[in-house]
Amino acid sequence: MKVINQNYINGEFTHINSNENLILKNPTTEEEIAQIYLSTPDAMNEAIHCASKAFESFSHTSIEERMEILQRIHDELLKDEKRLIDLAVLEFGATIKTTTRRTQNAINLFLTIKEELKTYDFVKKDDYSMTIKEGVGVIGVIIPWNANLAHLCGNIAPAIALGCTLVIKPSEFNALETQAFLECLHKANVPKGVINIVHGTGECVGEVLTKHPLINAISFIGSTRTGKKIFENCSRTIKRMTLELGGKSPTILLEDANFKDAIPHIFSSAYSNSGQACHAGSRLLVPKHKLEEVEQLLLDYIHTLNIGDPKSETTQLGPMINQKQFDTVQSYIKSGIDEGAKLLCGGLGKAEGFEKGYFVKPTIFICHDQNLKIVQEEIFGPVLCVLPYENEQDALIMANNTMFGLSAYVFSNDKAKALAFARHIRSGRVLINTSTSKAKHPPFGGMKQSGLGRMGGRYSMDAFSEIKSILF
């Protein structure tokens, strides 16, 4: 079992002075794989002071220097790509196929941001003024467990581009991947104090980060529940904030859609990361008179799903990350049954054939009541709620009947109609006739209680900048 007892502060691995620790288990086998020590506020305070000191000089580095750093980090991560993928599969249980794509995207982001730097509008000038974009300062980053590397890279790359320094609290559940990432980072020879990573719990070191006066901005990715607490804590020192929070995204099958073609997309969205994805399309809206047809298509497809070892290239659905998440999903399934939703397939207990591992039965409910807990709350597991609608106007009201607004998916054979429908949905993004997009770094973020601000490529750079006017 690997022991992780070091933070990364001021360019060095520093011992965690605490006896408090957490055992991580392989979600596929339930074997113990790591013991991670959890820092005290002292370590976080030290990291913040180092990042603040480093900002004084790093904010004045040239664009060329920062481009070189981005390139070096990229190169070091690329050398260790395989190890990063294997560790994410081991400790998180996401399938190797998904993890490989995500890891490659995360590493590539350093090159994308390097490229953006060449044309970024740092200075605009006219006869009487200069408008300057400069780094926001010291950024505190807090990360969830379901896309660790993506969020490490997604915050570090734009922060470096803008000359900002960082203090990062990763999720305590991704310690192995974070450790491997840090080893790459160390080799990339980033100036001391620019990137600091402190392991620990949100309640302890996370709170120090969100309240500390030397932290200028917080980039938080996690649940809406925690996001509200962070919003409150950040308000004490008026920190800049990006909040990337939860979702309960609708997939709308319009009457004229090709249902058969849509089905794989419906599953790839709803069961993305085994349902542990913020953008999961976990509410499926279908025309009422076509409900039976859709039920049959869903059943036909779900029985072909390959559940099992996430290391296998053919696996489509892996386990939940840990016992706690398995239990949370079970309690939602129980609530759906208790509240009278019709269970189309799946249900309580472990998926068939799995005594070990946190494998949930892929579950589908038919819900005639939009107010059910399983329809309104984010479950974060492979549970799809199907909701019949009367007409398109009804479908739109239902799609928007949620406190969330992160993502949405619309299927129709009439592109103009789908586009018009998409424009009425209150969410940060809408995908038409697909569950994945080939668009290059579109903005990502939520409306309503799904978040605040936008990240992604150039949008992340904007999020990490302040605007200054100089007038003459």
By the rule CB under 6 A, 226 interacts with ligand NAD? yes
Cα 431–Cα 432–Cα 437 angle in degrees, nearest 5: 50
- Choose one: 72-80, 219-227, 306-314, 335-343; the region binding ligand NAD (CB under 6 A): 219-227
- Choose one: 225-233, 256-264, 281-289, 355-363; the region binding ligand NAD (CB under 6 A): 225-233
For residue 365, give the nearest of 378, 374, 376 by alpha carbon. 374
Among residues 91, 172, 244, 392, the one annotated as catalytic is 244
Among 135, 137, 193, 222, binds ligand NAD (CB under 6 A): 222
Dihedral over Cα of 111, 116, 119, 120: its sign = negative
* Site for ligand NAD, residues 449 to 468, rule: CB under 6 A: 451
CB distance 148 to 168 below 8 Å: no
Among 106, 113, 142, 156, binds ligand NAD (CB under 6 A): 142
CA–CA distance from 242 to each of 91, 233, 374, 430 (Å)? 27, 14, 27, 20
Among 158, 193, 247, 319, binds ligand NAD (CB under 6 A): 247
Q: How far is the CB of 221 from ligand NAD (least distance, A)?
A: 5
By the rule CB under 6 A, 229 interacts with ligand NAD? yes
CB distance 381 to 275 below 8 Å: yes
For the chain, the C-alpha Rg in angstroms (whole number) is 23
The partner residues of 15 in beta bridges, in order of sequence, read 6
d(CA 351, CA 300): 17
CB distance 171 to 144 below 8 Å: yes
Among 139, 141, 245, 263, binds ligand NAD (CB under 6 A): 245
Among residues 184, 234, 278, 385, the one annotated as catalytic is 278
* Site for ligand NAD, residues 144 to 173, rule: CB under 6 A: 144-147, 169, 171
By the rule CB under 6 A, 329 interacts with ligand NAD? no
d(CA 284, CA 431): 14
d(CA 411, CA 266): 10
d(CA 176, CA 230): 26
Collapse the DSSP code of 3 into the 3-class scheme (helix H, G, I; strand E, B; otherwise coil) and give the result: strand
* H runs (alpha helix) in 339-414: 373-376, 392-400
For residue 307, give the nearest of 257, 248, 337, 267 by alpha carbon. 267
By the rule CB under 6 A, 362 interacts with ligand NAD? no
* Site for ligand NAD, residues 275 to 304, rule: CB under 6 A: 278
Let me know if 278 is a catalytic residue.
yes
Among 206, 310, 319, 346, binds ligand NAD (CB under 6 A): 206
Cβ proximity to ligand NAD: between 231 and 301 the closer is: 231
Cβ proximity to ligand NAD: between 145 and 359 the closer is: 145
Buried b / exposed e along 2-34 (16+ C-beta atoms within 10 A): eebbbbbbbbeebebebeebbebbbbbeeeebb
By the rule CB under 6 A, 57 interacts with ligand NAD? no
Cβ proximity to ligand NAD: between 278 and 385 the closer is: 278
d(CA 463, CA 136): 8
- Choose one: 12-20, 95-103, 218-226, 361-369; the region binding ligand NAD (CB under 6 A): 218-226
Q: Which segments of 377-457 are extended strands (E)? A: 383-389, 409-411, 431-432, 451-452
Burial category of 71 from C-beta neighbours within 10 Å (exposed 0-12, middle 13-18, buried 19 and up): middle
By the rule CB under 6 A, 106 interacts with ligand NAD? no
* Residue 160 one-letter amino acid: I
Among 24, 51, 139, 143, binds ligand NAD (CB under 6 A): 143
Q: How far is the CB of 222 from ligand NAD (least distance, A)?
A: 3
- Choose one: 137-145, 262-270, 307-315, 334-342; the region binding ligand NAD (CB under 6 A): 137-145
Cβ proximity to ligand NAD: between 378 and 392 the closer is: 378
Cβ proximity to ligand NAD: between 204 and 344 the closer is: 204
Cβ proximity to ligand NAD: between 8 and 58 the closer is: 8
Among 378, 386, 388, 396, binds ligand NAD (CB under 6 A): 378
Q: How far is the CB of 210 from ligand NAD (least distance, A)?
A: 5
Active centre residues (catalytic): 244, 278
Provide the binding-site residues for ligand NAD, judged by CB under 6 A. Answer: 142-147, 169, 171, 201-203, 206-207, 210, 221-223, 226, 229-230, 244-247, 278, 378, 380, 406, 446, 451
